[in-house]
Copies of this chain bind each other. A is one copy, B any other.
Amino acid sequence: MSISVDKVENIFDIIEENQSIEEIGKTIFPKTKDKIPFVETIPWEEPYSEAGQDKRLKYLKNIRKTNMDYISGEKKFDEHEQLKGNIENFIGMAQIPVGIAGPLLINGTQANGDFFIPMATTEGALVASYNRGMKACREAGGISAVCLTEGVQRSPFFKFKNIVEVGFFAQWLVTKLDTFKEICSKSSRFAKLRELRTNAEGNSLIITLEYSTGDASGQNMVTISTNLICEYILKNSPVKPQDWLIESNYSGDKKATAISFSNVRGKKVTAEVVLSRNIIENVLKTTPEGMVGCWRVSTLGAIQSGAIGAQGHVANGLTALFIACGQDVACISESAVGITRMELTKNNELYVSLTLPSLIVGTVGGGTALPTQKECLNILDCYGVGKARKFAEICTSVALAGEISIAAAISAGHFVDAHKKLGR
């Protein structure tokens, strides 16, 4: 049984009837704002030195008109009360090095223009590798990215005496959808209950409540709303469950699962780019054919390894972004599951797409308001309300650039050199 409460608003809904493809293209991907000029003089060449750091900070501050006093270490964290809701038994701050990559040119529905990408990692070569992928994509005119849909789930569990009671209960549930939506809307300004699905197994029933969560990653708000709905159920259901639990471990929280991959969890984003032979040869030092061959091997390797989805190293880029930008890093488990595709176009250019169906991100709540996190989000103009889909499109575009770079490195035989030179 699947009952659509109301449809998650979808990017494609903004299309008006009778628009031409050209008009739609412009509607979906508004004219990319003036690109930040790619300043070759930005001193990437002093990758670790303090002088290099200062020059990069200055450059970024100038372009983005934002402070970076905490990242730079100028200011020391001392607003302890701000930590409430983020940590207990606080003893201090773990410091993770942040490198900057980009600019990454994105033609998204929300993310539009050139972006410098802050990546927090301790893995040498990672920033350099992503940077190279971004360069190739920018020369190709940028990555198109669309946040297709969204939904965060909680899946409470109810056990009854037998199947008959399950049926009776399920039938009753359906009649209460409006009530549940109302309960949800009272529990949070942002959470909206979108859909209720039931999954019967013998005398037990898993209910999946799927919410949109505004610009928060939303796991807490859906938990609180679901709890209130369950309280209502327990009080009002004409048939009393023998047992119930707020979560059946079916929602896919903090783990890679096939259902989150095939449906949605958080945001589902797809992104694409077409790279000319010229770019691939000059920037990536390989050929379209070499990259397609590498992709085929990599996809079959993923299948043979029993992976969920098939991609290269999405986890690398996402994790670096998540740490820098105050995301729930444990959600890398589900967020880094996706599918990369590379194929030759009829003109023998390289078409590349990446789809991430379970990207858990937010631009409010969680760790987003902490000092360095907020600064990193500001570099992306992604702090606060109205920015979550934009951030999701950036995340996916970054990961796509990384997929291109690693496939190029492996197909060209440069994979090892990079790690020898830049890793430890």
Contact = CB atoms under 8 A, between A and B. Distances in A.
A140 interface: no
State how many copies of this chain the complex holds. Answer: 4
B167 A257 contact: no
A386 to B, nearest CB: 19
Given A70-B95, A316-B254, A424-B366, A270 B155 contact: no
A308 interface: yes
Contacts of A56: 89-91
15 contacts: A11-B167, A21-B164, A24-B167, A50-B78, A73-B92, A86-B424, A94-B95, A122-B370, A202-B271, A203-B351, A245-B294, A254-B314, A255-B307, A255-B336, A315-B330
Interface residues of A, number: 177
Contacts of A126: 87-88
A328 interface: yes
Contacts of A206: 301, 304
Contact of A303 (B70, B100, B299): B299
A265 B411 CA distance: 24
Interface in A324-348: 324, 326, 328-333, 336-337, 339, 341, 343
Given A1-B149, A162-B144, A93 B97 contact: yes
Contacts of A89: 44, 47, 52, 56, 99-101, 127-128, 131
A68 B270 CA distance: 43
Give the residue among A81, A91, A99, A309 with the most B Cβ atoms within 10 A: A91
Contacts of A257: 302, 305-307
A305 B415 contact: no
